[in-house]
Amino acid sequence: QQQVRQSPQSLTVWEGETAILNCSYEDSTFNYFPWYQQFPGEGPALLISIRSVSDKKEDGRFTIFFNKREKKLSLHITDSQPGDSATYFCAASESNYQLIWGSGTKLIIKP
Amino acid sequence: DMKVTQMPRYLIKRMGENVLLECGQDMSHETMYWYRQDPGLGLQLIYISYDVDSNSEGDIPKGYRVSRKKREHFSLILDSAKTNQTSVYFCASSLGTPGNTLYFGEGSRLIVV
């Protein structure tokens, strides 16, 4: 049973556009939601995270929007750059328990 | 320097051979992990270690075992490798609980023929 779902599986946008990556979850006890960025040949690295007490978290061009009622969140990447091309993983956990990972969204930014 | 180092980075083994993947971290993190990553499946947790000799099974432990004798070092062992264990394996570490940031190594690509 997949508890964290990501869509789309892959996404292509033009440089300068806003990329929107979606994530949904099933367990209402999840309260920590990190997004990890992975470049080819490398391990994932934490990009940005949000806790369920907030509905928005911003870090430069990256913003998480969180809807607790619908159990959905999204990662918005504004002014997309070719260097943002990577796979993005949404994950979720309850307090100190292990992370549950989505299957990832492969983002391609066309110059 | 916050770093997780994995060795070897690439490995080809024959079915039935033993495999040892090693991981080291320089951050004195208590918690360490072994994941495997396959296309379309994201990251699957194999084992988690909360400290020296304190290891727990993850979601897919079958066919794997681990060893942690020093806080900074965590090994993944495949006894008699199978072709379906061909994958990319990632080691990670975190300070304290899994709710904190995970720091990943660069991965070990294993091919079992």
Tally the domains of chain A: 1
Domains held by chain B: number: 1
| Residue percentage of chain B with pLDDT more than 90 | 89
Residue B84 backbone dihedrals phi, psi, to 5 degrees: -75, 5
Domain CATH number, residue A71:
2.60.40.10
More confident residue, B96 or A31: A31
Q: What confidence tens digit (pLDDT) does each residue in A56-96 have? A: 999 999 999 999 999 999 999 999 999 999 999 999 998 76
The band of B39, judged by pLDDT with boundaries at 50, 70 and 90, is confident
Is residue A18 predicted with pLDDT exceeding 60? Answer: yes
B41: CATH: 2.60.40.10
Chain A contact for B107 (CB, 8 A cutoff): yes
Q: Which of A70, A2, A62 is nearest to A34 (CA)?
A: A62
- The one-character DSSP state at B77 is E
Partner residue opposite A96 with nearest CB, options B43, B58, B98: B98
| Parent domain of A103 | 4-110
d(CA A89, CA A35): 6
Within an 8 Å CB–CB cutoff, is residue B11 touching chain A?
no
Alpha-carbon gap: B13 to the closest alpha carbon of chain A (Å): 20
